[in-house]
Structure 1
Amino acid sequence: MSTELEEKEEQEQNPETEVKQDTSKKAMILAKLKGKKKILLIIIPVVLILIAGIVFFIMKHKSAAKPADTTIEKHDGAAATQAKQVTTYLDMDEFIVNLDKGDNQPNFLKMSVTLQLPGQDAVAAIKDKMPVIRDAFQVYLRELRGDDLNGSAGMFRLREELLFRVNYIVTPNKVDDILFREILVQ
């Protein structure tokens, strides 16, 4: 106890030692905190990377498992549908059409198409409506310009438009696709 009293008396007599002791204590505390901050700055990113890796791994396996299951169901359904229906093709007569060029120079389109049908049942119904289908194609094709048929994008738009028109006419039957046998723009 006497030592404590002596230390207090010394501190009262010498205020500089008190300030030095306070600053040394603060320095020690700050050094300890800095060391902990460095450790935290290393540990937190490592933990976050590990968590992200685990989540990615789990999600990848879940998403990989789902399509495999659905493709099995689709294949089973497709096999059953294929057993019932066989794709049928119906050739249409050749089209020769004047294209809209805007000036007085003639521009022609020569085209042959085949209709892809889901089965033999639809052939008779579609053959009965063939004059209406041909007329709808002629009217649409006469509105086209040669530039509308350029490139694969032009051919895709032509196929989609003809498919839309034929399916509108033959409803409740359906045409699955339009296949181009020949296309010539002159």
Structure 2
Amino acid sequence: MADNEVSEEGTGEAPAKSKRKLIMIAAAAAVLLVGGGAGGYVMLFKKKDHDKVAEAPPPSKPIFVDVPELLVNMNVGPGERIQYLKIKVVLEVKDQPVVAQITPNIPRMVDIFQTYLREVRPTDLQGSAGMFRLKEELTRRVNVTIAPSQVSAVLFKEILVQ
């Protein structure tokens, strides 16, 4: 009888293991089905969001405001010959209301530019890094002048160091 009981227990475990495998396979299939459905749902909605972005109107073109040409003598060391900087810049603005705020402040900006440029040394303008620093500094000074509005960039039309 003991042999009988052992064989029954052995046969009793085999169906239990096969049921577990069947349950695990069914659960994995359910997870894949739900995951695939969720992925398809997300992909469909992302495509619709992309279409909405394509339908958005194109951004407005920037507006450019001329600043009068400036001619300043640069800061040079004692005994060096005087050097001059001639610069012509344009302000890049996104909206027309900002132009209305800039126009009455142009004399103030010219004064701030001249004061700053008179302290610039010829060595400060060497290379592209020097030009980039000059552009960033002029942009910062314009934005302080017309705050809370902002200018996108200061663009150089002409720079001459003589």
Q: Residues 128, 81 of structure 1: CA spacing in aligned structure 2 closer, same or farther, 3 A cutoff?
A: farther
> For residues 132 and 124 of structure 1, what CA distance do their matches in structure 2 show?
15
Q: CA deviation at 1:86?
A: 3.4
Aligned AA (1:167): N
Q: Equivalent residues in 2 for 1:1-150 (5 A)? A: 76=53, 79-80=56-57, 82=59, 85-104=60-79, 105-150=81-126
Instruction: Give 5+ residue unaligned stretches, structure 2.
Output: 1-45
Paired position in structure 2 for 1:22: none
Q: CA deviation at 1:76?
A: 3.2
Could you tell me which runs of 5 or more consecutive residues in structure 1 were left unpaired when the two chains were aligned: 1-68
Higher relative contact order, structure no. (Cα contacts within 8 Å, ≥ 6 residues apart)? 2
2:135 to 159, 172, 180: 159
TM-score (normalised: structure 1): 0.56
1:30-76 residue CA offsets vs partner (Å, 9 max, x unmatched): xxxxxxxxxxxxxxxxxxxxxxxxxxxxxxxxxxxxxxx8xx87x93
Answer 1 or 2: which has greater helix percent.
Answer: 1
What is the number of residues matched between the two proteins?
112
Cα offsets for 1:126-182 (capped at 9, x unmatched): 011111111111111000000100100000000000000000110111100011000
Matched, 1:176 2:156: no
Identical-pair percentage: 43
Which 4+ residue blocks in structure 1 deviate beyond 3 angstroms?
A: none
Work out the CA distance in 1 between the residues paired with 2:62 and 2:105: 19
- TM-score by length of structure 2 reads 0.64
User: What is the Cα deviation at residue 119 of structure 1?
Assistant: 1.3
Of the structure 1 ranges 115-124 and 155-164, higher mean CA displacement relative to structure 2 is found in 115-124
Cα RMSD for the two superposed structures: 2.1
Change (3 A) 1:169 1:81: farther
